[in-house]
A and B are shown apart, each in its own frame.
Chain A
Amino acid sequence: DIVMTQSPDSLAVSLGERATINCKSSQRVFSSSNNKNYLAWYQQKPGQPPRLLLYWASTRESGVPDRFSGSGSGTDFTLTISSLQAEDVAVYYCQQYFNTPLTFGPGTKVDIK
């Protein structure tokens, strides 16, 4: 199984400041056949299901604000919130879909400082 790890476990950022979350996979999730990284990011608020933010590591889902961006390749990925807003308080998960079983990271909790 591909193990996903995230850092930090939690972070507190001032409103308007940048938040950066890292995700690492135990194996490469890049496919050379289509040049894509099989990595998605989700946001989950309390009592709600996860919401897809980004897929293929950096493609923003429709309706997701452009302050959310993704980068990285192979085994190391980053989610950046360029200017944190109050509504961004949530837990963020990365997920690999390169292999089954599909696996998720442990989550990073983002709060306001």
Chain B
Amino acid sequence: QVQLVQSGAEVKRPGASVRVSCKASGYSFTYYAIHWVRQAPGQSLEWMGWINAGNGKTRYSQKFQGRVTITRDTSASTVYMDLSSLRSEDTAVYYCAREQELDTGHFDYWGQGILVTVAS
């Protein structure tokens, strides 16, 4: 069965960086894209960017351009999301999600989500 398993919760200081991983299993990793979506406490969902796991092509929301980097390791079927220059407003649950079909943009499987807390 398809699974996306994310790394554990993180607590970071303002100005620091965080790396979140998303390990995929149960399907052909390189045939799909993985997106990152975050959700601040009590808020809606916010799209951050995506990676085509096959060719490594990425696209980021302008809001996070310059601060976010999404990469993948095909040998480990894992996608990574790095977010730098953290501020308190980045406190949120971060989800990875699989695009149901390449170049569609809706998500059929989600990771469990991990809470990143930014606090001094």
Contact assessment for A52 and B107 in the assembled complex, using a CB-CB cutoff below 8 Å: yes
Closest-CB distance, A96 to chain B (whole angstroms): 8
Q: A49, B112: Cβ atoms under 8 Å?
A: yes
- A26–B6 Cα distance when bound, in Å, is 33
Select from chain B the residue with minimum beta-carbon distance to A62.
B108
Which of B45, B63, B104 sits near A50, CB closer than 8 Å? B45
Q: Tell me which residues across on chain A come within 8 A of B97, comparing CB atoms.
A: 49-50
- The verdict on A105 contacting B105 (CB below 8 Å), with A49-B95, A50-B110 known, is no
Give the bracket for the number of chain A residues in contact with chain B.
Answer: 20 to 34
- Summarize A's interface: helix, strand, loop or mixed: loop
Question: Which residues in A have their C-beta under 8 angstroms from that of B82?
Answer: none
Interface assignment of A95: CB less than 8 Å from any CB of chain B: yes
Alpha-carbon gap, A41 to B46, bound state (A): 15
Counting chain B CB atoms within 10 Å of each CB, the highest count among A38, A49, A97, A100 belongs to A49
Q: A17: CB under 8 A from chain B?
A: no
A77 proximal to B (CB < 8 A): no
B106 touches A55 (CB 8 A): yes
CB distance A101 to B61 under 8 Å? yes
Given contacts A93-B45, A103-B47, 9 further A-B contacts (CB under 8 A): A49-B110, A50-B95, A52-B100, A52-B106, A55-B100, A98-B105, A100-B47, A101-B61, A106-B44
